[in-house]
Amino acid sequence: MTALSLMAVPVLLETTSLPAQLLHQWVTMYAYGHRVLPGLAIVTCLIYLGVAFTRRTRNDAWVRYGLAGIVTVNIVPFTLIFMVSTNNTLFGLERDARVAGLVTTDIETGKELVTRWSRLHLMRSMLPLVGTVIGVTAVVDEVKM
């Protein structure tokens, strides 16, 4: 997930000088990520919750597995709470440029919006990372037992 903010977005920002092109590239990048990443977080959450359920009577590690799942899937509410307005603005600007041929923003405003999205996405990407750390600590503690 972090690769989008750390690599893909900087390439878009450095190599694009036309607002319509930048917006189209962002929408395309978003579409690829949206096809995979939310589902991956949900499946990961379900795996963690499944492990938590099977471990609930054996030891206390089940709590961390459950927490890892919940933290990981929180990319969904994070998106809804913090990112939807930026996403919708970018989608609207791209739609206007594509459908009506209207470029209603300049390149600097487009870059600012994509940069804002990138920062929010980087924060959101920390949730699965934190979930992984929590899950790994549970595994390590179980291996020690």
- The answer to whether the Cα torsion of 98, 108, 123, 86 is positive or negative is negative
What are 14-34's pLDDT values in tens digits? 999 999 999 999 999 999 999
pLDDT at 82: 98
DSSP SS3 for 131: helix
pLDDT at 52: 97
Percentage, residues of the chain above pLDDT 70: 100
pLDDT at 104: 84
What are 45-69's pLDDT values in tens digits? 999 999 999 999 988 899 999 999 9
What is the phi/psi pair of residue 16, to 5°?
A: -120, 130
The answer to whether 102 touches 23, Cβ cutoff 8 Å, is: no
Helix (H) or strand (E) holding 104: none
Q: Is this structure's pTM higher than 0.85?
A: yes
